[in-house]
Structure 1
Amino acid sequence: MRFISSSRMKAIDRNCEYLGLLPVQLMENAGAAIAQSIREKLESGKVLFIAGRGNNGGDAFVAARQLSGFSGYSVKVILLGKSQDIRTNEACHNFSLLRFSRLQMLEIKDSSQLAALASDWFSEADLLVDAIFGTGVKGIIKEPESTAVDLINREGKAGKTVISVDIPSGLDPDGGGFEKAVHAELTVTFHRMKTGLMSENAKKYTGTIKVAEIGVCADAEQYVGPGDLTMLHRRQSEGHKGDSGKILVIGGGPYSGAPALAALAALRAGADLVTAAVPESVSEIVASYSPNLIVRKLSSNILCPDDLSILPDLIDSHDVVVMGMGLGRASETLEAVRKILPFCRKAVLDADALSALSGSIFETLAGNCELIVTPHAGEFARLRDMGTPEDHEARIKAVREFSEEKGIVTLLKGKIDIISDGKQTLMNRTGNAGMTVGGTGDVLAGLTGSLFSRNPAFLAAASAAYINGTAGDLAFERAGNGLLATDVIEKITEIIKEADIG
């Protein structure tokens, strides 16, 4: 059975909306699943819904409306709070629909009102539906929710049936500690089993767990979307210089533009400091791209083993190393790359640096360096020492198996990007034909490094692929086939700002 964290579920919900599946549709399906579960437990009788002000409550409003349409059920709804404080448009919409029904509703403003209801609404109910909190609660429960949990549990101990919506209210959805929670006979959760439902402590509260399908589209889970960006680290208002990432770009020699593009992309993606370590022969050219770049000269015309006299200290003072753009494949350069990697804690390898990954290098790095590689199909074939499959499903399998075997994250670039760490796999279909122009891969590498400084490797790589492609799509609207890599860089900030991760 596959489990899902609360943050991942929220990301999938957002991706559904991006794909055109509206939240109100998912809420209607969730409510229908709850109503059906109630009917399976109770052929007729009195049902009391205790609803919070979020989407969990919204699911309950739908269920109450649908259940009231069946004969034999007396339905009452308690809203914990004021209706004007309902937090989402979908929940507000479904609460307003209840006003046209014949069921009884009550808005609770403080816990004393709940105590007054204990002897009638609570004690008279045959079945109680806990829809106070969903997957968003952590820590101490406040009033009137705390009293509501106590009253539900009192009725449960008296033999009443208690059904929890998505997760028993009070439980940490990701398995952390909690103050108290509803003891449910049945928990109806949606789409996938939540991580927090399977902890040993949680099993005392969940009762039987039913996973209900609510129509989540497969693409929302298989392709990167704006929802995935909600899982990224947010810049803190009280942060200091360097807290949002220090990136070291090692590249250049035969080419000067590639490392500059990677460095500029890292800055636009939110890194605080970006240093470009480039051969002396191109250092002034790279510096001329922007005064925002810090440029460190290496020893000669190409990266070589002599540069290890300064690079380890530079690497140590940065969070992530992005290496390979414009390096060339001279034997001494590839030797230098292999010697540099063991000093890295986190690294993104692109372009020429990928040619250094041979022999036992992955075993050497295992456990010491978190590695993301960003090959195109030809480079991936050389890494595996076998061809890259043309068939899409076979290509996914190849990326997943390679990533698992090497203990790395692979971002295979293509018309549809494939990102995998061997356990998780996502695809990205943003981007356009104009992005075949030189330099967009360098932009992706720098963007990946910037996100990697503050986020797990898989999330960073997948999000970078989406942001890079979406920025390219925005740039293409203006430039068409005249699109340049620098146009993509300038659009990164729009995506970052919209996702609120800058």
Structure 2
Amino acid sequence: MTLPLYLYTAEQVKRGEVVAAQQAGIELYQLMLRAGEATFALLQEQYPNAAHITVVCGAGNNGGDGFVVARLAKEAGLDVDLFLTSDATILMGDAAQAYQAWLTAGGRLTSFDKFETSLQSCDVIVDGILGTGLKGDVRANLASLFQVINQANKPIVAIDLPSGLCADTGRILGAAICANHTISFIGLKQGLVTGDGRSVTGRLHFAGLEVEEQFIELYSPSAQLLDYHSVAELLPQRSPVAHKGDHGRVTCIGGNLGYAGAIRLCAQAAVRSGAGLTSALCHSASILPLQLACPEVMARDWDGSKRILFERLKRQDVVAIGPGLGMDDWAKTAVQSVNQLQLAKVVDADALNLLAQSPNSDENRVITPHPGEAARLLAVSINDIENDRYAAVKALHQRYGGVVVLKGAGTLIFDGQTVFVCAVGNAGMASGGMGDVLTGVIAALIGQGLSISQAARLGVLVHSQAADDLVLTHGQIGLTASDLVPQIRRLLNGIHKS
């Protein structure tokens, strides 16, 4: 089950599945049967030795899918406990038909006084409780039920999406099932791949139910997953007669007193990501550590003079500003001066905090905020950002222009046209300096001829993929930003290998 690249809202899928089924000449109940079959096939594939499953269903079509799974499991000889969170008399439409098919097959509902016993004895739990229609927070009784399920320490397969997760925003609506596997149908829901969705979805699977071709003709996607092959092809091949000036002149500004490490990470990432000439303007105390770590960087101290800054930047292709910059007058002068330049910019860290104090729009700029910085840029809370990351990245673009990289689980990139989502990366990246490296990588890619949108996409992807590659061999604990730099170099060099 290869994941499609295009993402959709819950409303698009809800409306589209009806039309797609009509165009395919099938009834909606047939889609429910196919969804149940795909879920049961996934269960058998992932847990082939499962002999006893617990299926928990709600009253909607998500529960209807669950009834189909339960019936198929029973017919396959598995021991099935089926629990319904509502009264069976309120079931309607396709869900009622699927429930009746379960009864006809000899199935029965299990009483909830046996719920915890069932969870203790089962091999797999199937979540068919809540679907995409949930709007407000989960009711208290269901929240308590979710807690019991999550604490059972049993594998969970979620149908369409983990119950309690908002299909559009990726926000947990008060409480949610924490699945090991989630199978989404017809159109991949955008909330599954960012924010809290990354923490409760587990491994994501997709089944088009044989109507995906009809569906994709109906709607433009709401967002798009980054695809490594298509993004990697953006990096141009180098000419055999190229010289260092052909691959970009990058200047990194930051490294205020006590922050030599940040500017070192940024500049070294730029060098290792292919920048032809990399220089750094920093505090005098940061020069020696930077030159010892990376002698290829032309490190110079800067006294705060705008004239000197303009002189040093007039022949540059891109400037990366923010890593270790600080918030003092020296830093403010740097940001104000860079804002006046026409060259491409990558803005991170304290340069973003200073931008929040004096907002301006720049179409030739990449900003790379984490949720805290994004909150300051929009004068809202971090919760406001994380509650709807898609809305936040668009609001940031509207206010600041250019390309916005909203970092976090499921990093979002918005260039004013398309929202891209990075589906790779891991929790080991939650450590200091990761953003400094990303800033240097994006700046280097701009220097090599990529547009700011292309550089942001490729930079985010290789940065996160490098972290995933390292975690496979070394684990998440102790992953450092400097660990990523050699692996990013390997990934970039592997792009054009035959």
Query: How does the TM-score come out when normalised to structure 2?
Result: 0.53
Structure 2 partner of 1:247? 250
SS in 2 for 1:411: strand
For 1:458, which of 443, 453, 457 is the aligned residue?
453
Matched, 1:487 2:483: yes
- How many Å apart are 1:15 and its aligned residue? 8.8
Structure 1 partner of 2:317? 319
| Whole-angstrom CA distance in 1 between matches of 2:483 and 2:441 | 14
For 1:289, which of 286, 293, 300 is the aligned residue?
293
Matched, 1:264 2:264: no
| Whole-angstrom CA distance in 2 between matches of 1:425 and 1:410 | 10
After superposition, the C-alpha distances for 1:44-80 in whole angstroms (9 at most, x for unaligned) are xxxxxxxxxxxxxxxxxxxxxxxxxxxxxxxxxxxxx
For 1:416, which of 401, 410, 427 is the aligned residue?
410
Matched, 1:277 2:281: yes
After superposition, the C-alpha distances for 1:325-356 in whole angstroms (9 at most, x for unaligned) are 01111244224311232124111011011122
Structure 1 partner of 2:369? 375
| Whole-angstrom CA distance in 1 between matches of 2:244 and 2:404 | 30
After superposition, the C-alpha distances for 1:241-291 in whole angstroms (9 at most, x for unaligned) are 211111100110231011111111111111111101111121111111022
Structure 2 CA distance for partners of 1:389 and 1:418, relative to 1, 3 Å: farther
| Whole-angstrom CA distance in 2 between matches of 1:240 and 1:214 | 49
**Partners of 2:266 and 2:440 within 8 A in 1:** yes
Structure 1 partner of 2:226? 223
After superposition, the C-alpha distances for 1:187-215 in whole angstroms (9 at most, x for unaligned) are xxxxxxxxxxxxxxxxxxxxxxxxx7698
- How many Å apart are 1:385 and its aligned residue? 0.8
| Aligned 1:94-243 pairs, distance under 5 A | 221-243=224-246
| Whole-angstrom CA distance in 2 between matches of 1:219 and 1:469 | 22
| Whole-angstrom CA distance in 1 between matches of 2:486 and 2:425 | 15
| Whole-angstrom CA distance in 2 between matches of 1:438 and 1:460 | 22
For 1:471, which of 466, 471, 474 is the aligned residue?
466
SS in 1 for 2:463: helix
| Whole-angstrom CA distance in 2 between matches of 1:361 and 1:393 | 23
Structure 2 CA distance for partners of 1:358 and 1:379, relative to 1, 3 Å: closer
- How many Å apart are 1:307 and its aligned residue? 3.1
| Whole-angstrom CA distance in 2 between matches of 1:297 and 1:331 | 15
**Partners of 2:405 and 2:411 within 8 A in 1:** yes
- How many Å apart are 1:296 and its aligned residue? 1.2
Query: How does the TM-score come out when normalised to structure 1?
Result: 0.53
Structure 2 CA distance for partners of 1:483 and 1:222, relative to 1, 3 Å: closer
Structure 2 CA distance for partners of 1:294 and 1:448, relative to 1, 3 Å: same
| Whole-angstrom CA distance in 2 between matches of 1:463 and 1:475 | 18
Structure 1 window deviating more from structure 2 (222-231 vs 274-283): it is 222-231
RMSD: 3.3
SS in 2 for 1:499: coil
| Whole-angstrom CA distance in 2 between matches of 1:425 and 1:478 | 31
Structure 2 CA distance for partners of 1:495 and 1:219, relative to 1, 3 Å: farther
After superposition, the C-alpha distances for 1:83-107 in whole angstroms (9 at most, x for unaligned) are xxxxxxxxxxxxxxxxxxxxxxxxx
- How many Å apart are 1:415 and its aligned residue? 0.9
Number of corresponding residues: 290
| Whole-angstrom CA distance in 2 between matches of 1:215 and 1:425 | 17
- How many Å apart are 1:390 and its aligned residue? 5.9
AA aligned opposite 1:291 = P
Structure 2 CA distance for partners of 1:319 and 1:238, relative to 1, 3 Å: same
Structure 1 partner of 2:494? 498
| Aligned 1:72-87 pairs, distance under 5 A | none
| Whole-angstrom CA distance in 1 between matches of 2:306 and 2:458 | 32
**Partners of 1:308 and 1:340 within 8 A in 2:** no
SS in 2 for 1:243: helix
Matched, 1:329 2:324: no
- How many Å apart are 1:457 and its aligned residue? 1.1
- How many Å apart are 1:231 and its aligned residue? 2.5
**Partners of 2:224 and 2:419 within 8 A in 1:** no
Gaps of 5+ in 2: 6-23, 25-212
Larger radius of gyration: 1
- How many Å apart are 1:393 and its aligned residue? 7.7
| Whole-angstrom CA distance in 2 between matches of 1:272 and 1:489 | 16
AA aligned opposite 2:431 = V
Structure 2 CA distance for partners of 1:387 and 1:224, relative to 1, 3 Å: farther
| Whole-angstrom CA distance in 2 between matches of 1:444 and 1:432 | 15
For 2:423, which of 423, 429, 436 is the aligned residue?
429
Structure 2 CA distance for partners of 1:223 and 1:389, relative to 1, 3 Å: farther
AA aligned opposite 1:455 = L
- How many Å apart are 1:463 and its aligned residue? 1.2
| Whole-angstrom CA distance in 2 between matches of 1:262 and 1:360 | 24
- How many Å apart are 1:476 and its aligned residue? 2.0
After superposition, the C-alpha distances for 1:421-461 in whole angstroms (9 at most, x for unaligned) are 22221011221111112111110000011112211111111
- How many Å apart are 1:220 and its aligned residue? 9.9
**Partners of 1:400 and 1:423 within 8 A in 2:** no
| Whole-angstrom CA distance in 1 between matches of 2:223 and 2:401 | 26
**Partners of 1:15 and 1:227 within 8 A in 2:** no
- How many Å apart are 1:388 and its aligned residue? 4.0
SS in 2 for 1:483: coil
Structure 1 partner of 2:205? none
SS in 2 for 1:410: strand
SS in 2 for 1:362: coil
